Structure 1
Amino acid sequence: MEDILEQAILLEANDDDIEYVILNHILNDGNDNNVQNVPVFNFDTLEAEQAKKYFRFEKQDIPRLVQLLGIPDIIVTETGHTCTGLDGLCILLRRLAYPNRLSDLKVIFGLSAQSLSQIINKTVNLILEGHRSILEDLDNVPWLTQEKLEYYSQAVAAKGAAVQNCWGFIDGTARRICRPSINQEAYYSGHKRWHCLKYQSVVCPDGIIISLKGPYLGRRHDAGIFEESNIYMELERKCTFGNVNFVLYGDQAYPLSNLLLCPYPNPARLPNGIQRLRQENFNNSMCQVRLAVEWGFAKIVREFAFLDFHKNQKLLLQDLGKMYKCAVLLINCHTCLYGNQAATYFNVIPPNLETYLEH
């Protein structure tokens, strides 16, 4: 109880959310499997404001998501638990939206922790079976055309970037996990000084995370992950058009190449002069636009705070990689529907939901 309440305060939860945590703890403590007195969840009776608070999506958009994500009308888990596809997505979204326990969800959905766990896992698998390919390989993104790359590049250049053909930004992110009971060294990041899983992302100016590679062990370096990910071969196929190339921009951990640029190393070491000034101006201009990467990562944990509660990220009890990948896919859907900070900053329009999920 104390851990969840502390996390709620750190996440600047409002009074209603904190009251919800306390009430659910009182109602559920020591009584995880007793669901007889809990009302059955009814999506239709939810107020629009309540649905947005619980699930992070507008109420009218959730049935549309069910359809476009290919979630069936009835979900049946491997152990025989059943629910509607709409309820399954709502359970998953509520799980992601807040740093909760499964028993905390019982008061909303009227299901046991075991049923909820099975339904969440099944819903994640259904979503990824249908759509994980659009995150894992740029070749599976038909709307990423030369015209779209030009649109992105023009938006970045309009913000003062020194590179005129930069269409996106690449970076690694480390998601902290609960210290595993085995292979602790493999998941420990000496740089972060905690245990984690690492991912490599490419973020577009509209905030869409268009590529997500991973998870990788926490001890891995970004350069090694980049080489293993094979994303450069995807860039060669997707971002070259005769004599016209479109490039990504990353930090100094990445190797400089035709399709991937990075900052000049230590221009301050150069003597004062035109070369030093040019390098410093280049780095400064690209640093400003590269903020889109951080905004993309920040939106994931802002909307889906469960992923930022590392004590619930237990490697041996759940497939953390699948959960994070599914969350990124859902966040991209959220961006398609409602936009985000990056899209506003660069003045670009994300693809519509149908276009994004096409593959």
Structure 2
Amino acid sequence: MSMWAKRRLAIEILEHIIELEENQPKKRRRRCWCKPCPQPKENPSPPGPKTEITESSPEDFRNHLGMSEESFRNLLAVVKPLIEKKDTVMRASIPAEQRLAATLRFLATGRSLQELKTSTSISVPALSSIIPETCEAIVGALRDGYLKFPKNPREWRNVADDFETLWQFPNCGGALDGKHIRISKPPNSGSRYYNYKGFCSIILVAVVNANYQFLMVDVGKNGCASGGGGVLEQTKFHQLLQSNDLNLPTREDTKQNLNFVFIGDEAFPLHKHLLKPFPQRQLNKERKILNYRLSRARRVAENAFGIMAHRFRIFHTPINLLPEKIDKVVVACCVLHNYLLHHDPHTYSPASMMDLEDIKNHEMVHGEWREDSDMITPLQPLCARGVCDDAIRSREQYAEYFNGIGSVSWQDAML
């Protein structure tokens, strides 16, 4: 074979190889769970919650994650075993510290996942999985210590003692309240979550103690069930109340032998163990006193919801997750609310945050959370319906008590 023939053959083979390579299917580029942050080559620091925080500024840390660094470290210590993942041969796992920081950042700011991925260096699909998982872990780790529902008469009396000491309301097991939590409309849900205020929501019902802490939370009812009576009937709390399985103190163990009660607003039904205000059209002086004393004690529930929504800005925007994931997020916020009231009370809920009564000037001083009160949507007032005689008699007895032996010196002036 001549030299020119050999060259022509070599060129044809090379062209064939190039053609084969061009026709090969392109490999799909792998997506990363976590984008690598630019780090110095020497002594790189592990990724963590300080991505946007100046290490020397505690205030920046608190604004970034909604809690002090000490509270964050204590929380991480109990949650880490539940959220830590193992590295694989394919990739390194996202550290537990970064998972917790991303979740707290989501709760504290209400940012979308698309915005959050920039500051956390975590992809949107990973965040949509990490946040509900971490919220569930927070509830699992803290529920027994920070969301304790009384189970016997002695524990109920401890709750009632606080109400009498702080709010001069005896025999009270808690303030009952419910709010609408804004959500993005779930796919193919029709009007299932559409409430009386004109937006999609799920409902949070809670019992709050005298110290603004949640004793019981029930979340997930569809927003279309706007009336407090219908919502309450679907909760486990109501089932236990109706069947007398709450183990409440008996009349023999209460002050002035009055019924042991919970207190609520007009959205809830009157019950022998649930007090609500007298209707406006039926008021006289004695009933106005009862309404004032009841609303004064019940204000702890309004403040608990208000402080939580003020600190966790996720409640200021429709939560764009699936409903089952939203339930975990909301319960986690309630548990963190109790946790921070215990560990970081002076910064999480200073005195200026709560409603206060100026007894000398006979006026109410509204707390800072009321600046955002339009984000807290109450349940629809309950239409009047048949009430048992025991419930009516119980409310009249409390009105008699607050106008007699249970009166306080300033109540007439505050009307």
Tell me the TM-score normalised to structure 1 length: 0.72
- Name the SS of the counterpart of 1:35 in structure 2: coil
Match runs of 1:348-359 below 5 Å: none
Q: Which has the larger displacement, 194-203 or 230-239?
A: 230-239
Q: Which runs of 5+ in 1 are unaligned?
A: 1-31, 158-162, 271-275, 347-359
1:166 is matched with which residue: 153, 167, 172?
172
1:308 aligns with 2:292: no
1:258 & 1:300 partners in 2: Cα distance? 30
The equivalent of 1:286 in structure 2 is 294
Q: Aligned-pair distance for 1:285?
A: 2.5
Distance 1:133 1:229 in 2: 20
2-structure distance, mates of 1:252, 1:319: 30
- CA 198–136 in structure 1, closer or farther in 2 if over 3 Å, else same: farther
Tell me how far 1:262 sits from its aligned partner. Answer: 0.8
Match of 2:93 in 1: 82
Partner of 1:52: 62
**TM-superposition CA deviations, 1:163-182 (whole Å, max 9, x none):** 42224210111011123332
The match for 2:330 is: 324
**C-alpha spacing 1:264/1:238, structure 2 compared with 1 (3 Å):** same
Task: Identify the residue that residue 268 of structure 2 maps to in structure 1.
Answer: 254
User: Displaced runs of 4+ in structure 1, greater than 6 A?
Assistant: 77-81, 133-137, 140-143
| Aligned residue-pair number | 302
Pick aligned residue for 1:239 from 241, 248, 255: 248
Contact residue 153 and residue 167 of structure 1 kept, 8 A:
no
2:164 to 153, 159, 165: 153
**Letter aligned with residue 35 of structure 1:** K
Distance 1:334 1:81, change over 3 A: farther
SS of match in other structure, 1:288: helix
Asked which structure has the greater CA Rg, the reply is 2
1:18-37 alignment runs, 5 A limit:
35-37=35-37
Question: Quick one: which amino acid aligns to residue 128 of structure 2?
Answer: S
Q: Which residue of 1 aligns with 2:111?
A: 100
Distance 1:77 1:260, change over 3 A: farther
Residues in 1 aligned to 2:251 and 2:310: alpha-carbon distance in whole angstroms: 41
Instruction: State percent identity of aligned pairs.
Output: 19
Rounded to whole Å, the distance in 2 between the matches of 1:222 and 1:81 is: 48
Match of residue 115 from structure 1: 126
Q: What displacement does 1:280 show?
A: 1.4
Q: Tell me how large the CA RMSD over aligned residues is.
A: 3.5
Conserved 8 A contact 1:202-1:210 = yes
Cα distance between partner residues in 1 of 2:92 and 2:119 = 17
1:212 aligns with 2:221: no
- Distance apart, 1:37 and its partner CA: 4.9
Q: 1:67 to 1:36 in 2, by over 3 A?
A: closer
**Structure 1 residues 77, 313: CA separation in 2 closer, same or farther (over 3 Å shift)?**
farther
**Quick one: distance in 2 between partners of 1:216 and 1:77?**
39
Q: Give the CA deviation at 1:141.
A: 9.7
SS at match of 1:138: coil
How far apart are the structure 2 equivalents of 1:59 and 1:143? 36
SS of the equivalent of 1:202 reads strand
What is aligned with 1:225? Answer: 231
Who is 1:20 aligned against? none
Structure 2: gaps (5+ residues): 1-31, 40-45, 255-259, 358-415
Asked whether 1:181 is paired with 2:190, we answer no
Instruction: Name the amino acid aligned to 1:294.
Output: E
